[in-house]
Amino acid sequence: MRFAIDAHTIGRHLTGNEVYVRNLLENYALLDRESQFYAYVCSEYAASEVPNRFEKRSVSANPFVRLGYDLTRRVMADRPNLLHVQYTAPIYCPVPFVVSVHDVSYLERPEYFTIERRLQLQTTVSHTVKRAARILTVSEFSRKRIQAAYSIEAERIEVIYNAVSPHFRPVSPKAAFNCVSGNFGIQWPYILSVGDLQPRKNQIGLIEAFEELIARHPQLAHHLVLVGKPTWFAPKVYEAAKNSAVADRIHFTDFVNDEDLLHLYNAAELFVFPSFYEGFGLPILEAQACGRAVACSNTSAMPEVADSAALLFDPNSQEEIVRAMRDLLLDTELRQRMERLGQKNASRFSWEKAARQTLEVYYDVAGRRRTRSNVRTAQTVQSS
């Protein structure tokens, strides 16, 4: 079989979408040694990040060129049995395709997007899901929202959970903090939050809650560290931090690589994820896998992902965010219990399992039943 994957997100700091395709490709290389894979990438760097035995094809980073011409041209030349895209398929696709739609926030919370981006997604995703042979999504929450938004038959939507990379794991807190201090000049102790600086992630609400936390508990010496790529909304977040009474304790790192992120998680005393809306919420699992206690929002898919291994709060309530941070910082026993439960929860999710389930969809759509020889387990690969 021949499978093509639109991997244009690799190397472009597109956070969750990039993590998703990187981990699928890495596990495809381990699990399926018989099929031929084509990865459509936008740069030489991205090509170097794709497993060696995959065929790499260059497509434009410009979405109009990629979706209007390049992907169609590549598919017609490579003749795969199936194409896998995220959110948007090419205008014309001569082969069956599956689409991953992580959430429909552009429909349900359009205020979080620029007008141009919102209109683009509302138009192209609708056209894509109507033509797709199968729709993949990452949570039961998103499945229900996609089905309701587009009136899609339930059997056309598959829930395949994201996971956390084995890279995110507990390491020595002291060694981690030495790296964080050396690379970013951040003092310990600190509270960590990870996410692009955009309205959906609610960094302004967190900044205000952090200021209130310190006002009520001046004995706390904590700083607040915000990790994430700036977007059009970033100036408003920076302004909120600048005007805060604890401005000298608020730090921004911009986008960081996985090695730095590993250390930032491990050196933190607490991880807070105050997002208003998530189709999954991968940083929750990354923090838990690193042994950090987590406080996160009680909306959208986050309770489904965090399970009972995090303190939940209403992201619209400053009082609840403050209370969650206070409880985890001041109650050592509670924090340690959440750390243990979090690691156990993160272990439920596996990129190997996600890749295997996605390959099963590929084979089904392509009209060939998967056999045990098609897709191997990681254990089989390691022992061979």
User: Domain spans of the chain?
Assistant: 2-163+350-374, 173-346
What pLDDT does residue 12 have?
79
What pLDDT does residue 16 have?
83
Asked if 135 contacts 146 with a C-beta cutoff of 8 angstroms, the reply is yes
pLDDT beneath 70, residues of the chain: 14, 369-384
What pLDDT does residue 15 have?
74
What pLDDT does residue 379 have?
47
Superfamily of domain 173-346: Glycogen Phosphorylase B; (3.40.50.2000)
Supply the angle between the helices 115-131 and 140-150 in degrees, to the nearest 10. Answer: 90
Calpha distance 85→230 (Å, rounded): 25
Q: Compute the residue count for the chain.
A: 384
CATH code of 2-163+350-374, in short, is 3.40.50.2000
Asked if 45 contacts 11 with a C-beta cutoff of 8 angstroms, the reply is yes
Calpha distance 118→87 (Å, rounded): 13
The rounded Cα 102 to chain-centroid distance in angstroms is: 9
What is the separation, in whole angstroms, between the first and last Cα of the chain?
22
- Enumerate the H helices of the chain as residue ranges: 15-31, 44-48, 63-65, 71-78, 105-108, 115-131, 140-150, 173-184, 203-216, 234-242, 258-267, 282-289, 302-306, 318-330, 332-346, 351-366, 378-383
CA distances to 34, 93, 140 from 159, rounded to whole Å, are 25, 24, 6
Calpha distance 305→91 (Å, rounded): 34
As given in the structure block, the two tokens for residue 19 are: 């993590």
Asked if 312 contacts 361 with a C-beta cutoff of 8 angstroms, the reply is no
Burial class (CB in 10 A: 0-12, 13-18, 19+), 69: middle
Closest CA to 281 of 344, 352, 186, 345: 345
> DSSP character for 218?
T
- Asked if the domains at 2-163+350-374 and 173-346 fall in one CATH topology, the answer is yes
What pLDDT does residue 14 have?
64
3-state secondary structure 290-324: CCCCEEEECCCCHHHHHCCCCEEECCCCHHHHHHH
The tens digit of pLDDT for each residue in 320-353 reads 999 999 999 999 999 999 999 999 999 999 999 9
